[in-house]
Amino acid sequence: MSIAVIKANVTYAAVIASIGKKSFRDAFGNLFNSKEELFEYLEHTYDPVKLAKSLRKDSNVYFLALKHGAPAGFAKVKLHSLNEHIESIAQMELQKIYVLPEYQGKGAGAALMEEVKRFVHDIHPDHLWLDTYISNERAIRFYEKNGFEKIGKDFFTIGTQTFYYYIMGMPVAIPIRTAC
């Protein structure tokens, strides 16, 4: 499956919002005790107006994966995002990488990751890091296959629920491994 990846601009805010809502709901919706809290989180986090503001920030870079022109997923990189588990002041964060369910396992995630790695390699921070839900084994395997290692744990709260996640990092100074 041939996937094109473009750098997204503000005109893609509604598309990215739609991908984010659907992907998050599919991946994590079953973890919520309150569907109202899930709905509130999705409406707040993936509000197209809020995403348009995020897309305009110089510190954020979004990539959009397309299959025959149809949106398949997106990735968000945050420049100069520091994590206390990494001893460096030159860090970048892969904040989000979401792929619609119908494109999972078909190259969209790999294409997004390759574009993120190219982008990060050109800027050359010391580390790229991300966080992922502690029980999301598929995502953890994907990240490990792409050179990330678990370096810590943390948590975040949505509504009344607490979710635990791994912090995963990858030094950029060494050659970046490519997933097969």
Structure tokens at 50: 């809020």
**Does the pLDDT value for residue 85 go beyond 90?**
no
Cα–Cα dist 163/171, whole Å: 26
**Does the pLDDT value for residue 175 go beyond 90?**
no
**pLDDT grade for 84, boundaries at 50, 70 and 90:** confident
Of 81-85, 107-111, 127-131, the least confident: 81-85
The answer for residues whose C-beta is within 8 angstroms of residue 134's C-beta and 6 or more apart is 153, 164, 165, 166
Mean pLDDT of the chain: 92
Helix axes 13-28, 48-56, angle to 10 degrees: 110
Residue 128 and residue 93 in contact, taking contact as beta carbons nearer than 8 Å: yes
pTM over 0.85: yes
Residue 143 and residue 74 in contact, taking contact as beta carbons nearer than 8 Å: no
What pLDDT shows up at residue 176?
Answer: 47
Helices and strands in the chain: count of H runs, count of E runs: 5, 7
**pLDDT grade for 89, boundaries at 50, 70 and 90:** confident
What pLDDT shows up at residue 56?
Answer: 97
Residue predicted with more confidence, 83 or 73 = 73
Tens of pLDDT, residue by residue over 111-151, are 999 999 999 988 888 899 999 999 999 999 999 999 999 99
Q: pLDDT > 70: what percent of the chain?
A: 95
Fold of 4-125: Aminopeptidase (3.40.630)
| Integer angstrom CA distances of residue 78 from 8, 62, 128, 130 | 14, 9, 10, 10
Cα–Cα dist 171/79, whole Å: 15
SS3 annotation, the chain: CCCEEEECCHHHHHHHHHHHHHHHHHHHHHHCCCHHHHHHHHHHHCCHHHHHHHHHCCCEEEEEEEECCEEEEEEEEEECCCCCCCCCCCEEEEEEEEECHHHCCCCHHHHHHHHHHHHHHHHCCCEEEEEEECCCHHHHHHHHHCCCEEEEEEEEEECCEEEEEEEEEEECCCCCCCCC
- Domain map of the chain by residue range? 4-125
